[in-house]
Amino acid sequence: MVFWLDIAAFALKALLIVAAIGGLALLIARLARSSEPKDEEIKVRSLNERYDDMREALNAELLDKKARKALVKARKKQTKARRGDDAGKRIYVLGFKGDMRASAVKRLGHEIDAVLTVARPGTDEVVLRLESPGGTVTGYGLAAAEILRLRERRVKVTASVDQVAASGGYMMACAADRIVAAPFAVVGSIGVVAPVPNLHRLLKKNEIDFEEMTAGEFKRSVSLLGEITPAGREHFRGKLEDTHGAFRHFVLQCRPNVDIDRVANGDHWLASEALGLGLVDELSTGGEYLFRARDSARLYQVSTEARKTLIQLLLSGIGVAARAAADFAAARLG
């Protein structure tokens, strides 16, 4: 009799454990489904302090104890003076890594909003560290318009290009007051391209009919499956020329000293060549530009991060606890 009671008790405990695990799994799944993405939050980091941390890390190995104490004391005094100097120049460092759709433009807009709430016209500067081979006209046109918001409020903008700012990427760079590029960075490509694959002949060969109903002569001048007529092709080409003309006009408006007929032919150049063409203003890496500015200005890196959902917070907490337990076990074994 006792044996069967023990079996029943064991089965009940097992059932409760399974039910608890199942309930937890269900809760986590429900949270994962119901947790909507939160708004992005602004993150600000002092780059001056980052440089100071680098220096102290090296001095910790290079200097004796007395010299290190003196440097720490001097740094605290310098940091206090820096924070109390409200009149000093501030440089806000933003980043933009472009893809075909310029999908980072929304984040860039949020960061510019944040900067404009505190930036002082005529005093502060924004350094945009830009990397993009270009993409859609609409996406990069919007990105350039976001940058112009800063200039319209008399906040100086410097575009820093370490690798590439071509086509739409160069359109963004032009929206800045100055363009600083590494010698082997690629810039330019002031042109427009629109690949249009067409399968009409393949469908016709296989006796497959395709009909597309439109209202308006040029509602669909070219398409993937329909026949491209000479009139449709000419109309589409005209739209490309109009877009290229708008691109040329924008570059000339932002950089009036360039020979637009020479540089707006779709070609690209290394920055060392582009300097003589007026496409860039200075040869320097972004890191060097900021390094030189660290003693005369306060540098702040401004970025956006999505707020974590509840499930992400739970999982990150579990991960932290697991790492702490592993470190504790390793220390005990050691």
> Mapping DSSP to helix (H, G, I), strand (E, B) and coil, where does residue 98 land?
coil
What radius of gyration do the chain's Cα atoms show? 29
Rounded (10°) CA dihedral 259, 260, 265, 268: 70
Q: Is 167 a catalytic residue?
A: yes
- Each domain of the chain, given as residue ranges in start order, spans 40-189+267-306, 191-255
Q: Residue 214: what pLDDT?
A: 80
Q: Which CATH architecture has domain 40-189+267-306?
A: Alpha-Beta Complex (3.90)
> What are the contacts of 230-237 at 24+ separation with CB within 8 A?
236/194, 236/196
Q: Is 130 helix (H, G, I), strand (E, B) or coil?
A: strand
The pLDDT of residue 196 is 82
pTM for this entry: 0.77
**How many Å from the N-terminal Cα to the C-terminal Cα in the chain?**
49
Name the catalytic one among 160, 167, 189, 221: 167
What is the Cα–Cα distance from 215 to 266, expressed in whole angstroms?
35
Per-10-residue mean pLDDT, the chain, length 334: 54 61 64 56 92 86 77 70 70 96 95 96 97 96 97 97 97 97 98 86 82 80 82 87 95 96 96 97 97 95 77 55 54 50
* Biggest distance spanned by C-alpha atoms of the chain: 101
What residues contact residue 303 under an 8 Å CB cut-off, 6+ apart? Answer: 42, 43, 45, 94, 95, 111
Q: What sign for the dihedral angle of Cα 98, 103, 107, 110?
A: positive
At residue 66, the pLDDT reads 77
> Under a CB-based contact definition with an 8 Å cutoff, are residues 89 and 120 in contact?
no
User: What pLDDT does residue 139 have?
Assistant: 96
Residues 123, 90: Cα–Cα separation, whole Å: 8
* 63: CB partners within 8 A, 6+ apart: 71
Asked if 267 and 104 touch (Cβ cutoff 8 Å), the reply is no
180 Cβ neighbours under 8 A, 6+ residues apart:
158, 159, 160, 161, 280, 281, 282, 283, 284, 286, 289
Q: Is 219 a catalytic residue?
A: yes
| Predicted local distance difference test score (pLDDT) of residue 61 | 82
Can you read off the two tokens belonging to residue 107?
Answer: 């984040």
User: Looking at 65, 66, 219, 296, which residue is catalytic?
Assistant: 219
pLDDT at 37: 47
Q: What is the pLDDT of residue 36?
A: 47
Q: How far is CA 154 from CA 119, 176, 227, in A?
A: 9, 11, 51
